[in-house]
Amino acid sequence: GAVVSQHPSRVICKSGTSVKIECRSLDFQATTMFWYRQFPKQSLMLMATSNEGSKATYEQGVEKDKFLINHASLTLSTLTVTSAHPEDSSFYICSAALWGTQTYNEQFFGPGTRLTVL
């Protein structure tokens, strides 16, 4: 099956620093990648949709200058949390969509990154 990796799995940083999270599709080319955020005991909230070679589409209420997304290739998307603050502490999960006649609707999740901002 399709494999998506995410790095790092866990990061602890000081307030005011920037953190970069990488999402890679390991065995397929992902035209579209999604970034989600999940607070404890809550569901996944879509932050943005990232298409290779174009600007990300952010959901309402998500600050694009705060959460920078780059999708430079068909296998890599990055999310940078700029000037992180404690309220940015959360579980960030990426997923990659596999396009094809049978599986164009599927998305495959990375293992997630737990960010703690002190």
Partner 1 sequence: EDKVVQSPLSLVVHEGDTVTLNCSYEVTNFRSLLWYKQEKKAPTFLFMLTSSGIEKKSGRLSSILDKKELFSILNITATQTGDSAVYLCAVGTTSGTYKYIFGTGTRLKVLA
Residues that bind partner 1 (CB under 8 A): 32, 34, 36, 41-46, 49, 51, 57, 93, 95, 97, 105-112
What's the sign of the alpha-carbon dihedral 52, 35, 112, 9? positive
Residue 41 CA: distances (Å) to CA of 52, 91, 95: 31, 11, 20
Number of alpha carbons in the 13 Å side-chain half-sphere of residue 87:
1
Smallest distance, Å, CB 11 to partner 1? Answer: 15
- Cα separation, 43 vs 111, in Å, equals 15
Smallest distance, Å, CB 111 to partner 1? Answer: 5
Is the Cβ of residue 28 or residue 36 nearer to partner 1 in the bound state? 36
- Cα separation, 56 vs 47, in Å, equals 10
Number of helices (H), then strands (E), in the chain:
0, 11
Is the Cβ of residue 14 or residue 54 nearer to partner 1 in the bound state? 54
Is the Cβ of residue 3 or residue 18 nearer to partner 1 in the bound state? 3
Smallest distance, Å, CB 77 to partner 1? Answer: 14
Is the Cβ of residue 45 or residue 76 nearer to partner 1 in the bound state? 45
Smallest distance, Å, CB 112 to partner 1? Answer: 5
